[in-house]
């Protein structure tokens, strides 16, 4: 066995051990953990430290049937919207106090002003796009809560973003897990390489999409606004 095959075998065994642990947790618990993880990731500031995307992809690698796939997908969507709703409510009730808190100040006025100005200029579109932007997605719900944007409009824009995000991450984890197990059953030493390659390619694609989105929205994000933070929708934006 050459070094490439030897390392591939070792890698496959390691990945199989990890995935077996995820499967051993059971579909119910893995779904609940993924839901809790994404809830924390989308709640106030917690998204800056909790790797909700990694938790969801890991949980998805244990999916082995359509029912589990649908259950996990729905759970992740619900967890995402619940977390964002909590952030919105906190912003509506205690927004200024949160922004002026020690943690709020650590984020920097520029981050808050950028989020506020972005909402002011793009309305609901900002809610949708921010789900895919680093840092901004963590502060967007509470920032929207400090505007006059109604909750129903907020959730109307947050829902399709959550569905798109959840579908991408759950599908990627499921596909990688199924492909790995299929290759492993055949005794192919490169199963680990395929799994690692699929995951890496997915996160590279995610990074490229986020980068493109950030660049396309750069002008709106750069302008901090006039401080009105009214959250009103533009004339050409559907309610």
The mean pLDDT values, 10 residues at a time, for the chain of 239 residues are 84 93 94 93 73 92 95 97 94 86 77 83 90 83 91 96 97 96 88 95 94 79 48 41
For the chain, what's the residue count? 239
What Å distances lie between residue 116 and 18, 52, 106, 153, 233, CA to CA? 42, 24, 17, 16, 13
In this predicted structure, what is the pLDDT of residue 202?
A: 97
Structural domain contains residue 160 = yes
Q: What does R_g of the chain's alpha carbons equal in angstroms?
A: 20
Structural domain contains residue 168 = yes
Structural domain contains residue 232 = no
Domain count, the chain: 1
Helix, strand, coil share (%) of the chain residues, nearest 5 = 80, 0, 20
Q: Give dist(CA 91, CA 93) in Å, integer.
A: 6
Structural domain contains residue 41 = yes
Query: What are 17's two structure tokens?
Result: 């051990």
Which value, to the nearest 10 degrees, does the dihedral of the CA atoms of residues 146, 149, 154, 156 take? 170
Structural domain contains residue 118 = yes
Query: What are 203's two structure tokens?
Result: 């996160």
The beta strand positions in 26-117, using DSSP E, are: none
Structural domain contains residue 149 = yes
Query: What are 79's two structure tokens?
Result: 């967890």
In this predicted structure, what is the pLDDT of residue 221?
A: 66
Q: Give dist(CA 144, CA 59) in Å, integer.
A: 30
- Reported for 43-48, long-range contacts at CB under 8 A and 24+ positions apart, including other chains, are 43/83, 43/84, 43/86, 43/87, 43/141, 44/86, 44/87, 44/90, 44/98, 44/138, 44/141, 44/142, 45/103, 45/107, 45/138, 45/139, 46/83, 46/138, 47/83, 47/137, 47/138, 48/135, 48/138
What domain range is 116 assigned to? 3-222
In this predicted structure, what is the pLDDT of residue 226?
A: 41
Structural domain contains residue 181 = yes
Structural domain contains residue 106 = yes
Is residue 128 within 8 Å of 164, Cβ to Cβ?
no
Q: Give dist(CA 42, CA 54) in Å, integer.
A: 13
| DSSP 8-state code for residue 106 | H
Question: Maximum Cα–Cα distance for the chain, whole Å?
Answer: 67
Q: How many CB atoms lie within 10 A of CB 223?
A: 14
């Amino acid at each position: 066995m050459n070094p490439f095959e030897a390392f591939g075998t070792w890698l496959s065994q390691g990945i199989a051990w990890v995935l077996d642990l995820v499967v051993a947790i059971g579909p119910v618990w893995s779904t609940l953990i993924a839901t809790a993880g994404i809830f924390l990731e989308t709640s106030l500031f917690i998204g800056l430290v909790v790797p909700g995307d990694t938790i969801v992809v890991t949980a998805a690698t244990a999916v082995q049937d359509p029912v589990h796939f649908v259950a996990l997908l729905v759970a992740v969507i619900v967890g995402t919207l619940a977390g964002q709703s909590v952030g919105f409510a906190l912003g509506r009730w205690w927004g200024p106090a949160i922004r002026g808190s020690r943690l709020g100040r650590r984020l920097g006025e520029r981050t808050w002003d950028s989020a506020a100005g972005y909402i002011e200029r793009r309305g609901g579109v900002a809610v949708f796009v921010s789900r895919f932007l680093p840092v901004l997605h963590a502060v967007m719900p509470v920032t929207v809560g400090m505007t006059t944007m109604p909750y129903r409009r907020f959730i109307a824009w947050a829902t399709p973003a959550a569905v798109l995000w959840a579908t991408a991450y759950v599908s990627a984890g499921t596909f990688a897990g199924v492909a790995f197990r299929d290759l492993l059953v055949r005794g192919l030493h490169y199963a680990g390489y395929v799994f690692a390659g699929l995951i890496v390619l997915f996160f590279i694609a995610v990074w490229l999409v986020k980068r493109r989105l950030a660049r396309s929205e750069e002008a709106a994000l750069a302008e901090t606004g006039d401080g009105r933070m009214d959250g009103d929708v533009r004339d050409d934006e559907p309610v």
